[in-house]
Amino acid sequence: MRNAIICATLTLGLAACGGNPCDDYVDALCDCLDEESCEDTKTTYEGADSDLKDECSSKLDEAEEAAKTCEVDEGGSDSGGA
């Protein structure tokens, strides 16, 4: 839990310092995508211009929430039933 908080703090800190929000957006999306779709998404957002960065930034929170849901769903199917 402590590591998750540290990672979240660092991520927010880097984003506030002018990091590329599309990198975080793609990472969040890839949590719920298969490898091929993830690579396609990375290609789409690679070298993002300012308009695309604005789009990523506005959708980042939603993507991170969806990623949490995917992680819970995957964790639930791996650990249940015994």
Cβ atoms of residues 52 and 43 within 8 Å: no
pLDDT of residue 66: 93
Which is more confident, 7 or 40? 40
Domain segments of the chain: what residues? Answer: 20-79
- On whether the pTM is more than 0.85, the answer is no
CA nearest to 66, candidates 38, 31, 39, 37: 31
pLDDT tens for 63-77 read 999 999 887 666 644
Which is more confident, 40 or 5? 40
